[in-house]
Structure 1
Amino acid sequence: MAGGRVEDLLRELAPQVLAVLTRRYGDFAAAEDAVQEALLAGHQHWADGPPEHPFGWLVQTASRRFLDQRRSEASRRDREQRFQREQPPAYDVVDRDDSLALLFLACHPALTPASAIALTLRAVGGLTTAEIARAFLVPEPTMAQRISRAKQTIRAAGARFEPLTPAEQTERLPVVLHVLYLVFNEGYAATSGDDLNRVELSAEAIRLTRMLHRSLSDEPEVKALLSLMLLLDARLPARTDDAGNLVTLAEQDRGRWDRDLIAEGLRLLDEAMGTGRVGEYRIQAAIAAVHDGADRAEDTDWPQIHALYGLLEVLTDNPVVTLNRAVALAMVDGPLAGLALVDSVADRLPDHPRLLVVRAHLLEQSGDGEAARRLFRRAADLATSRPERERLLMLAARHPS
């Protein structure tokens, strides 16, 4: 079995093993540490392929790690004799998959988004601390502290590992969706570093959202979020050129888009529409669907996109959404109309890179190349992603001073 397949199997089994240990011993934080050690052991020992019963192997290994941790804790010496008598069974009989309960626990409302993302990727995604740290370009000790604090916060909040009631699940679902959305976005368009994409993050977000969809197949916003991810991920092959440079949506070779992903995304969006209150993921997926449905950039239905951004703006009151609507409005009514809309939210986004870029593009369309050049350069100075910075400098260079 190839190394990649072993990693896929480990990540698939990680939340199930963690669920077994948490149910058995009642300590999520310690169980999560033990499972991480078992996953590392699996990476080392499964180089030539997994054992006959990989799930049982991981449960047994993680249980032993857990008991070793317990025995080494001075504050629990009085329990040492009892734990020494405990021997984990070779295999566990599992009558349910608790991955969903783990996902909701890792996305606890008491956590900050950054902490929830880190804990979700480790506890449910099966990524190591080192992998998560590399993905977010922070030192491994920093990420380890973030994960440790997240587990302490969950413990302090009195959270228990158990299936949520339907009411609790409905209440917490928006947090779970938001965390998965943030993970995908960081993978699809990295906010910092040398790479435009972090495919491992966007792929993990899609995998976890598929898992959520399997369990909550009637939830329209879950379908919509998965649809949005697939419709955007379908463009991945065309988002960079052979040199790794960013290719804008208007310039992409749409023949390279993944039509199977687009078809699946459109089907999910169609299923989500017309059921319940329309949420932001359905609107975003609808916008992505309009773009993906145009064979050429010039065939894009900009009036429809402008209308959809208007709905999203009302729903979210997000000034960045207004900037996106300004771009669509410029395609419908001209750049001056778009610039006026940008001006209406400028005080809410002082010197925000996105505002600078949108205003620069619209000034360029209106014929003011000198002003566009200055704004592109200012935005490049603020950019934390190397591909984005290089693209902005290239755009500025089209208008020599």
Structure 2
Amino acid sequence: MSAVGEIGAHFAVARPRVLAALTRQFSNLDVAEEAYQEACMRAMERWPANGVPADPTGWLIMTGRNATIDRIRRDKRIVSGEALPDGPASEDDIEAALADQIDMSELRDDVLRLMFMCCHPDLSLQDQLALALKVIGGFSVDKIARAFVVKPKAMEQRITRAKKKAAAIAERLDTPSLQERTARLDAVCTMAYLLFNEGYSASGGDEHIRAELCEEAIRLIRLLLTLFPSQAEVMGLLALCLFQHSRRQARLDSAGKLIPLEEQDRSLWNRQEIAEGQVLIEKALRHGRPGPYQIQAAIAAVHCMAEMPEQTDWQEIERLYAALEQVQPSPVVSLNRAVALSKVKDARTGLQYLNGLSDALSGYLYYHTTLASLLDEAGEADRAIAAYECALQLGPTEQEVAHIRRKMKQCRSHQKNPEPM
């Protein structure tokens, strides 16, 4: 990875905590975002020459806070009567002040607090999530649009509306009560899972897996579970993330190439995380109210319990996806059920189930790669190559590009009359 790419990776990991701390400091999302951007610009100026500091997150918090206080003081000379934030401006004093404030909020975590703040009931659920992903995750409009499987223009309009609404209620963006947190829990869980997914499979760039983002999401979900210890869906969400994260060491080879699930060295899977996930999902399911996260965790558990790919219980997985379609119907769930059906029966059955999903998932990378895989398995190599070509137009990571091109090469070997390379 280049030096600029390495610094950018530090920004991506640090952003949630930095922005959350700055929001608590200045009680204004726009000011916090400006402070974060200023800190990043200064880091780009200094880190390449001086090296990345031992605590990049702390450095960005202090630098952003310091720069913003200095700017407000300069503005005060022009605009009278504007109050300054309390607190010293020197870096040493700021560091001490921040240390005194760490984990002192009611939610005990700035990022979690900010997530609950963004999930304000005055905003629609979709707007809450879009705002949280933009503000906390720093996701681009295109990335958020792909996460919601909608057009970028529609998502841009949604985020603009959410920001205007958030500005109108900014003075009420305080730490919510326990009752308010309960009402916002579903949105916060979704936000945490989308944050995990961005680390598990980055939606663009040269780094496919960002383990630190996965670990940050898991940390936040653990905090959620301490706040809501009897919530089966929070248990299911934590179990799901643990199952998925347990495979991280086996997902890329030494050259950074993606390794499909069925080809992974399962001895590299983290059995401690799998065992913890198994305990959590069993405890959650005993509540007798299986929700989407519990069902997804149960699916992941089936994969993790198979010592070899051929031992995977695809009938159970297909049954669970059928249940998930009932609880949380979506084109992406149907896409995954199509894969399970192809394993239980054959590729033609899976392709038949994909009929009708093309419009809803035309902008979804994994629809095209799944379609291509099933077409190739069904003996339609030409159509499979065309589907892979569509996938290449949807912003895959460098590792995904390499994986898709390898699959295309395999398809060409299956063609009856292969085209010249």
The aligned amino acid for 2:81 is: R
Structure 2 residue aligned with 1:116: 132
TM-fit CA distance, 1:358: 2.3
CA RMSD of aligned residues (A): 4.4
Structure 1 residue aligned with 2:235: 223
Q: Deviations over 1:194-226 (max 9, x none)?
A: 332133322322222223223333222222212
TM-fit CA distance, 1:72: 3.1
* CA pair 101-351 structure 1, distance change in 2 beyond 3 A: closer
Query: Which of the residues 73, 76, 90 maps onto 2:75?
Result: 73
Query: Which of the residues 171, 185, 190 maps onto 1:173?
Result: 185
- Contact 1:119–1:150 (Cα < 8 Å) also in 2: no
Query: Which of the residues 245, 257, 262 maps onto 2:269?
Result: 257
Q: Distance in 2 between matches of 1:175 and 1:211?
A: 15
Q: Distance in 2 between matches of 1:316 and 1:248?
A: 26
Q: Is residue 21 of structure 1 aligned with residue 25 of structure 2? A: yes
The aligned amino acid for 1:386 is: E
TM-fit CA distance, 1:289: 0.7
- Contact 2:20–2:136 (Cα < 8 Å) also in 1: no
The within-5 A match list for 1:212-361 is 212-275=224-287, 277-350=289-362, 352-361=364-373
The aligned amino acid for 1:72 is: R
TM-score, structure 2 normalization: 0.71
Q: Distance in 2 between matches of 1:29 and 1:12?
A: 14
TM-fit CA distance, 1:237: 0.7
* CA pair 164-194 structure 1, distance change in 2 beyond 3 A: same
* CA pair 279-69 structure 1, distance change in 2 beyond 3 A: farther
Q: Distance in 2 between matches of 1:291 and 1:117?
A: 29
- Contact 1:17–1:58 (Cα < 8 Å) also in 2: no
Q: Deviations over 1:113-166 (max 9, x none)?
A: 4541242247xxxxxxxxx78xx79xxxxxxxx999977652313452433234
Structure 2 residue aligned with 1:202: 214
TM-fit CA distance, 1:105: 1.0
- Contact 1:326–1:342 (Cα < 8 Å) also in 2: yes
- Contact 2:202–2:209 (Cα < 8 Å) also in 1: yes
- Contact 1:187–1:201 (Cα < 8 Å) also in 2: yes
TM-fit CA distance, 1:184: 1.4
* CA pair 63-387 structure 1, distance change in 2 beyond 3 A: closer
The aligned amino acid for 1:268 is: L
- Contact 2:128–2:187 (Cα < 8 Å) also in 1: no
Q: Percent identity?
A: 35
- Contact 1:105–1:159 (Cα < 8 Å) also in 2: no
The aligned amino acid for 2:311 is: D
Q: Distance in 2 between matches of 1:115 and 1:85?
A: 28
Q: Distance in 2 between matches of 1:291 and 1:220?
A: 21
**Structure 1 gaps, min length 5:** 1-5, 123-131, 138-145
* CA pair 286-79 structure 1, distance change in 2 beyond 3 A: same
* CA pair 116-13 structure 1, distance change in 2 beyond 3 A: closer
The aligned amino acid for 1:384 is: P
TM-fit CA distance, 1:247: 0.7
TM-score, structure 1 normalization: 0.74
* CA pair 297-148 structure 1, distance change in 2 beyond 3 A: same
**Structure 2 gaps, min length 5:** 1-9, 145-157
Q: Work out the number of aligned pairs and report it.
A: 371
TM-fit CA distance, 1:19: 7.5
Q: Is residue 188 of structure 1 aligned with residue 192 of structure 2? A: no
